[in-house]
Amino acid sequence: MPEPTIAAQTHAQVYETSYTNLKTAREEKEKEGYVSRETRDAMEETFCARFGKIPYAWQLDVAEALLLGLNCVVIAGTGCGKTIPFMLPLLNDRSKKAVIISPLKVLQEDQASRFRAVGITAAAVNGDTWSSKMLKKLKDGRYQAILTSPEMCLQHPTFRAFLSDAVISNDVVMIVVDEAHCISQWGGDFRKAYATLDKLRAFFPTHVPFLATTATLTPPALRDIQNQLDFELDDAFFLNLGNDRHNSTPSVLRMILNSPRDYPALIPLLCTPGVTPGDNLIFSGQLYKSLIFVNTVLAAQQCCQFLKDSLGLSDLDRGIDVLHAQRTVRAKRRVMRQFREGIVRVLVATEAAGMGTDIPDVEQVIQLAVPSSLSVWIQRAGRAGRSPTIQARTILLVEPSVFQRVKATKPSGEGDEEGQESDGGGDADEDGDEGDEEVVDDEDAAPADVKYKKKVEPALRDYIETGDCRRDVVDAHFGNPASRKAPTGDCCDNCNPPPRPHTPVRDADASKSPSDRRSCRRLPGT
C-alpha cells in the first residue's frame, strides 16, 4: 500500500512527521560536530541585533531544517513572516547564497529592496535587468539573494550556465520557490517553466533543499508541488499555519450595473463616512488606503480614470494611480514606492500587485468583478492589514451575471460545467456572456437544464453564495488547521452584518435604490 501524501494526513500527523524528520536530521549532522543549539542561538542573536526582536520558534525551525538539507513547505498567511526563515541563514553566514524564484518582475524588485534594507545584498535578475554588467556582479559574488523567474533559470542560456557553475552552486544554501501556488496555478500553458522546476536540482549539489512558501495552497496543489519539486514525505519539513487573517473582515457585495465595470460602486467604499467627493480628499486623509484589483489592463486604466474624474483629481495627481504589466519598469517602481509612502492612496491594479508586495498599512482590498478562483481572491485579499495594528476589510464586488441563471440552447452535455476564466495568463472575458441563452425565471427549473451566465470556479461560488461564515469556507477549501485566532474586529459580513440596511448578495433586487443595496461600512477603529 503506498505511503499517504502529506495532504492526506491529519494536521497532527503531519506535524509529528515533520518534527521527527527535523530531529533525525539534527542527529545525523551532530555526528559531524554540528550543534543545534549553537546554530539556532547564532541565528536568533543575529536577527535580534538586526530587527530588535526575537524570531518565532517556527521560523528558526524552518531555517534550521533548510541548513540540514530538508526540503520544506511553509503555508502561512500574508504578512506572517514567511520570508524570515530564508533570511536567517543568509544573515548568519555572509558567504551563503539563495536562489529565490518569484513569479513577477515587480515582486522581484520589491523583495530585493526588502532584502537590501536588512543588510542582505540582493538583485532582481530578469529580462529588464540582465546585462553583461549584471553577469559580472553575479560572478564576483556581489549578491547573496538572487531573485529571478523559472524562465530565466531554465531558458536563459547565459544565466543557466552561471547557476550551473560549481564555484557558484557550492555557495547556494537553498532554492526558494516563493508564491509556490503558481506551480499548480500557472504550470500549464501559461507559464510552462513552472512545471519543470525540478530541473533546477541538477544545477546544485544534492544536499541543497527546496523551500516552497505560499499563503494559498489547496491539498491538490500541494500534491502538484510535491510532484514538480520531487518532495518526498520522509525527507520533508511541512508547516501549515493556515491563511486566516484575523485582523481583516471579508465581505461580498453585488454590483448594481449589469456589467463588471460598475466603477461607481467603488466611490462609497473609498470615502470615509460623511465624506462626499470633492477637492483635497487625497491629502486630508478622507480616503481609505485601498488596493483595487481588476482582471484586465483595460479595466485598470478605465477604473483609474473614472475614480480620478469622480473625485475631482487631474491626470497629474498621484493620489490615485494604476499598476499593470504594460507599465514601464520605472513607472512600476515609482508607483509601488509612492503607494508604500502614502502618496498614492488608492491603487488600481491587475495581478502585478497580487502577490508578495509588502505594504503594511493597506486598509482595504476591493476586487472588482470575480477573479478566476478562490485562491486568487484570497491571495489578493491578503494584501490588506499586513500590519497587525490596523483593522482591515476585504470586499468582493460581484457582477450580476454571476447570479443570473440561463438555459443553454446548445445540445445537452456541452459546456454544462463551470470552469475558470483566465486571470493570470491573459484578459478574462469580463462580461461573461455565453452566447444565445435564455434567462431562467423559474426557480424550480431542473438543475440539469440550467447554468449560470458567468462561469465561476465552484469553490469561489461557494464563498460568494454561502450564508454561513466565509472564513469557514476558506478553511475547508485550503485545509487550514482547525484552530485559528479570534477575529480582532467583525468576523465577516454574514456573522456580523453591516449596521446599515443592505440586501443579501443572493437575493439582491436591481429595482432597489443604491442606498439600500450598497453598504460602505466604516472600518472598525477608524
Q: Alpha-carbon distance 417 to 94, whole Å?
A: 53
pLDDT at 110: 86
Residue 520 has pLDDT above 50, yes or no: no
**Is there a domain that residue 526 lies in?**
no
User: Worst-scoring range by mean pLDDT, 109-123, 211-225, 498-512?
Assistant: 498-512
Is residue 187 domain-shared with residue 38, that is, in the same domain? yes
Domain count across the chain: 2
Is residue 105 domain-shared with residue 190, that is, in the same domain? yes
pLDDT at 188: 58
Is residue 218 domain-shared with residue 319, that is, in the same domain? no
Is residue 335 domain-shared with residue 375, that is, in the same domain? yes
Residue 439 has pLDDT above 80, yes or no: no
Is residue 185 domain-shared with residue 323, that is, in the same domain? no
Beta strands in 300-453 (DSSP E): 320-323, 346-349, 364-368, 392-398, 405-408, 437-439, 450-452
pLDDT at 384: 94
Is residue 233 domain-shared with residue 297, that is, in the same domain? no
pLDDT at 333: 85
Residue 508 has pLDDT above 80, yes or no: no
Query: Which CATH number belongs to the domain containing residue 454 in this structure?
Result: 3.40.50.300
Residue 310 has pLDDT above 60, yes or no: yes
What's 439's DSSP letter? E
Q: Alpha-carbon distance 362 to 100, whole Å?
A: 26
The last residue of a domain, from among 205, 224, 240: 240
In tens, the pLDDT along 51-66 reads 999 999 999 999 999 9
Beta strands in 18-156 (DSSP E): 71-75, 97-101, 122-124, 145-148
In tens, the pLDDT along 218-229 reads 888 888 888 888
Q: Alpha-carbon distance 372 to 420, whole Å?
A: 5
The last residue of a domain, from among 240, 256, 288: 240
Is residue 234 domain-shared with residue 258, that is, in the same domain? no
Backbone angles phi, psi at 341, to 5 degrees: -80, -10
Residue 7 has pLDDT above 70, yes or no: no
**Is there a domain that residue 525 lies in?**
no
In tens, the pLDDT along 70-104 reads 999 999 988 789 999 999 999 999 999 999 999 88
Q: How far apart are the first and last CA of the chain?
A: 57
pLDDT at 299: 94
DSSP 456-521: --HHHHHHHH-SS-HHHHHHHHHT--S--PPPSS---TTTS--SS----GGG--TTS-HHHH---P
pLDDT at 477: 94
The last residue of a domain, from among 186, 221, 240: 240
Is residue 265 domain-shared with residue 330, that is, in the same domain? yes
Q: Alpha-carbon distance 420 to 422, whole Å?
A: 7
In tens, the pLDDT along 455-500 reads 899 999 999 999 999 999 999 999 898 878 899 999 999 998 765 4
Q: Which of 369, 327, 367, 322 is nearest to 346 (CA)?
A: 322
**Is there a domain that residue 307 lies in?**
yes
Spacing of C-alpha 7 from chain mean position: 20
Is residue 135 domain-shared with residue 65, that is, in the same domain? yes
**Is there a domain that residue 420 lies in?**
yes
**Is there a domain that residue 85 lies in?**
yes
In tens, the pLDDT along 369-379 reads 999 999 999 99
**Is there a domain that residue 513 lies in?**
yes
- Within 10 angstroms of residue 383's Cβ, the number of other Cβ atoms is 26
Average pLDDT, the chain: 82
pLDDT at 192: 85
Tell the residue number behind the cell numbers 439600500, with chain if given: 516
Specify which residues 117 forms β-bridges with: none
**Is there a domain that residue 522 lies in?**
no
Domain limits at 396? 248-403+415-517
Is residue 278 domain-shared with residue 214, that is, in the same domain? no
pLDDT at 499: 53
Residue 352's pLDDT band (cuts 50, 70, 90):
low
Is residue 265 domain-shared with residue 230, that is, in the same domain? no
Is residue 99 domain-shared with residue 222, that is, in the same domain? yes
**Is there a domain that residue 1 lies in?**
no
DSSP 94-127: TT-EEEEE-S-HHHHHHHHHHHHHTT--EEE-ST
pLDDT at 227: 86
pTM, rounded to two decimals: 0.80
Higher pLDDT, 235 or 344: 344
Q: Alpha-carbon distance 117 to 121, whole Å?
A: 9
